[in-house]
């Protein structure tokens, strides 16, 4: 049963069948082969159930929030402000790439949106000051991954939906690892630029007056973060309601900066619908497949197989990590999550691992997949905006940051309280 299921899935992926269609075809196929009941009849009910889940309404809202901030030019203001404050560090603008990515991640919830936005505003500056374009592009691709770790995070919402885990606790758990990973990225840049000063571009001179004046451009991002995350932990709003509040606040900022127009709303709505439709179709397909797997007993079979191996929990965890690293080379990250989480998460929870902790560890593995070829999505996003040179330059530039994510994963395993400490403050 397991071999046939894997063979069908791999065949569909090799044939480049869209992931959502591949999941439905796989579900229909194994349901027909291994069940005597017409399981396909539940497809309509599952589609309706997934489409009307109140929690999932937060996904298009967070996507819209990111789109508004991008179109309103707030990301550019944030980048210029952080550049003034971080340009004295080894790496200068490279440090600003990571800092701005971390701040924008606290509002957008998407790694792709973060990477695309920062590339758009940062790359002209990098070329202007003669930075090594490989490391410059790689730092943006890596910084973009913070978008799914620092809350709010669409991927954490998906994980919470798939595992019935508290979204507020997941959001809290992602803050410290997200900040630590950003620091590791900045440390990596500093060391690289101290060893090879030619990686860093021309030095910029910024007065304290300019720095202090730029602080006003950091207020919008911090305001959005306080509205979204603060409303959740103050008990004023659910994650979905906080996303709606974030949209309203971002619209207010867009009106304040006078960037609102018919074209503005057209771009925001088109971007929101395109991204949200892709995510929801994948989730519906995954829900259907997971129902089929449960119905034919495959999920239970895999769980029993792993438990009966008699291996230690840490060995099983290492196998799971290795599995995600390998699969991350070939499968788009959101699809990888929805395919594997319903099977893998219960196995690790039964072995004693905390589901919140595993959720953050999983996001780190997904981050690694975003910047590793051949399917690293952030690499292609940065190259798409860059429109010059080879994508291999972006891959080479991102390589040191893959290593730093590996360091963060090791730290998470040795010190699980990195993510779990803050969760004790919410129910």
Q: Which residue has the tokens 């891959």?
A: 395
Report the chain's mean pLDDT, rounded to a whole number: 85
Q: What is the mean pLDDT of residues 25-48?
A: 82
Separation of alpha carbons 284 and 46, rounded Å: 7
pLDDT in tens, 287-298: 787 788 778 776
Highest mean pLDDT among 28-32, 106-110, 212-216, 278-282: 212-216
pLDDT in tens, 149-166: 998 888 898 899 889 898
Separation of alpha carbons 8 and 14, rounded Å: 10
DSSP state at residue 235: T
What is the pLDDT confidence band of residue 187, given thresholds at 50, 70 and 90? very high
Considering the chain, what percentage of its residues have pLDDT values greater than 90? 28
pLDDT at 139 over 70: yes
Least confident of 56-70, 273-287, 317-331, 404-418: 273-287
Task: Please report, for residues 5, 46, 293, the alpha-carbon distance to residue 34 in angstroms, rounded to integers and kept in the order given.
Answer: 10, 20, 10
Which pLDDT belongs to residue 299? Answer: 64
Q: What is the mean pLDDT of residues 366-387?
A: 84
Separation of alpha carbons 406 and 409, rounded Å: 5
Which pLDDT belongs to residue 23? Answer: 78
Which pLDDT belongs to residue 240? Answer: 85
Least confident of 283-287, 377-381, 405-409: 283-287
Of 180 and 327, the structure prediction assigns the larger pLDDT to 180
Rounded to 5°, the CA angle 277-245-75 comes to 75
Which pLDDT belongs to residue 60? Answer: 86
Q: What is the mean pLDDT of residues 308-316?
A: 78
The burial of 93, by beta-carbon neighbours within 10 Å (0-12 exposed, 13-18 middle, 19 or more buried), is given as buried
The burial of 195, by beta-carbon neighbours within 10 Å (0-12 exposed, 13-18 middle, 19 or more buried), is given as exposed
What is the pLDDT confidence band of residue 98, given thresholds at 50, 70 and 90? very high
Least confident of 95-99, 178-182, 205-209, 249-253: 205-209
pLDDT at 359 over 90: yes
Q: What is the mean pLDDT of residues 76-91?
A: 86
Separation of alpha carbons 57 and 77, rounded Å: 29
Which pLDDT belongs to residue 254? Answer: 92
Is pTM beyond 0.85? Reply is no
Which pLDDT belongs to residue 321? Answer: 92
Highest mean pLDDT among 51-65, 84-98, 291-305: 84-98
What is the pLDDT confidence band of residue 39, given thresholds at 50, 70 and 90? confident
132 three-state secondary structure: coil
| Contact yes or no for 338/293 (Cβ under 8 A) | no
Separation of alpha carbons 391 and 57, rounded Å: 35
Considering the chain, what percentage of its residues have pLDDT values greater than 70? 95
Separation of alpha carbons 160 and 138, rounded Å: 30
What is the pLDDT confidence band of residue 251, given thresholds at 50, 70 and 90? very high
What is the pLDDT confidence band of residue 328, given thresholds at 50, 70 and 90? confident
pLDDT at 282 over 80: no
Rounded to 5°, the CA angle 213-223-83 comes to 40
DSSP state at residue 54: G
What is the pLDDT confidence band of residue 207, given thresholds at 50, 70 and 90? confident
Q: Which residue has the tokens 């374009």?
A: 133
Least confident of 28-37, 184-193, 236-245: 28-37
Separation of alpha carbons 194 and 385, rounded Å: 28
Burial 330-356 (b: 16+ CB within 10 A, else e): ebbbbbbbbbbbbbbbbbbeebebbbb
Long-range contacts of 197-203 (CB under 8 A, 24+ apart): 198/132, 199/91, 199/94, 199/131, 199/132, 199/135, 200/90, 200/91, 200/92, 200/94, 200/131, 200/132, 201/92, 201/93, 201/126, 201/129, 201/130, 201/131, 201/132, 202/129, 202/130, 203/87, 203/92
Q: In terms of Cα–Cα distance, which of 356, 322, 343 is closest to 425?
A: 356
CA-CA-CA-CA torsion for 283, 313, 301, 170, nearest 10 degrees? -20
Residue 203 neighbours by CB under 8 Å, 6+ apart: 87, 92
What is the pLDDT confidence band of residue 303, given thresholds at 50, 70 and 90? low
Separation of alpha carbons 280 and 286, rounded Å: 10
């Amino acid at each position: 049963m397991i071999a046939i299921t894997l063979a069908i899935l791999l065949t569909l992926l090799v044939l480049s069948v869209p992931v959502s269609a591949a999941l439905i075809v796989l579900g229909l196929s194994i349901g027909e082969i291994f069940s005597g009941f017409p399981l396909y009849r539940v497809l309509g009910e599952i589609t309706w159930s997934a489409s009307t889940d109140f929690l999932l309404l937060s996904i298009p809202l967070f996507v819209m929030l990111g789109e508004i901030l991008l179109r309103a030019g707030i990301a550019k203001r944030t980048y210029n402000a952080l550049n003034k404050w971080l340009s004295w560090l080894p790496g200068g603008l490279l440090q600003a790439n990571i800092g701005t990515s971390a701040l924008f991640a606290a509002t957008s919830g998407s790694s792709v949106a973060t990477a695309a936005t920062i590339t758009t505003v940062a790359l002209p500056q990098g070329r202007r000051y003669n930075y090594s374009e490989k490391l410059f592009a790689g730092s943006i691709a890596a910084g973009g991954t913070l978008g799914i770790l620092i809350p709010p995070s669409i991927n954490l919402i998906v994980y919470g939906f798939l595992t019935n885990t508290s979204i507020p606790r997941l959001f809290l758990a992602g803050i410290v690892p997200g900040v630590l990973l950003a620091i590791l990225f900045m440390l990596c840049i500093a060391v690289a630029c101290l060893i090879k000063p030619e990686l860093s571009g021309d030095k910029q001179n910024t007065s304290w007056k300019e720095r202090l004046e730029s602080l006003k451009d950091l207020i919008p991002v911090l305001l959005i973060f306080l509205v979204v995350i603060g409303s959740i932990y103050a008990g004023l709003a659910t994650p979905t309601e906080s996303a709606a509040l974030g949209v309203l606040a971002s619209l207010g900022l867009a009106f304040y900066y006078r960037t609102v127009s018919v074209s503005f709303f057209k771009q925001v709505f088109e971007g929101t619908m395109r991204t949200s439709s892709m995510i929801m179709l994948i989730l519906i397909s995954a829900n259907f497949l997971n129902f089929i797997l449960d119905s034919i007993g495959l999920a239970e079979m895999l769980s029993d197989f792993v438990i009966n191996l008699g291996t230690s929990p840490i060995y099983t965890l290492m196998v799971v990590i290795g599995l995600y690293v390998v699969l991350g080379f070939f499968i788009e990250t959101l699809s990888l999550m929805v395919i594997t989480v319903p099977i893998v998460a219960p196995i690790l929870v039964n072995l004693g691992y905390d589901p919140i902790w595993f959720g953050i560890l999983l996001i780190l593995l997904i981050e690694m997949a975003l910047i590793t070829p051949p399917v690293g999505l952030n690499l292609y996003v940065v190259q798409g905006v860059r429109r010059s040179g080879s994508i291999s330059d972006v891959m080479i530039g991102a390589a040191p940051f893959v290593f730093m994510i590996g360091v963060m994963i090791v730290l998470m395993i040795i010190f699980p309280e990195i993510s779990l400490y803050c969760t004790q403050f919410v129910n």
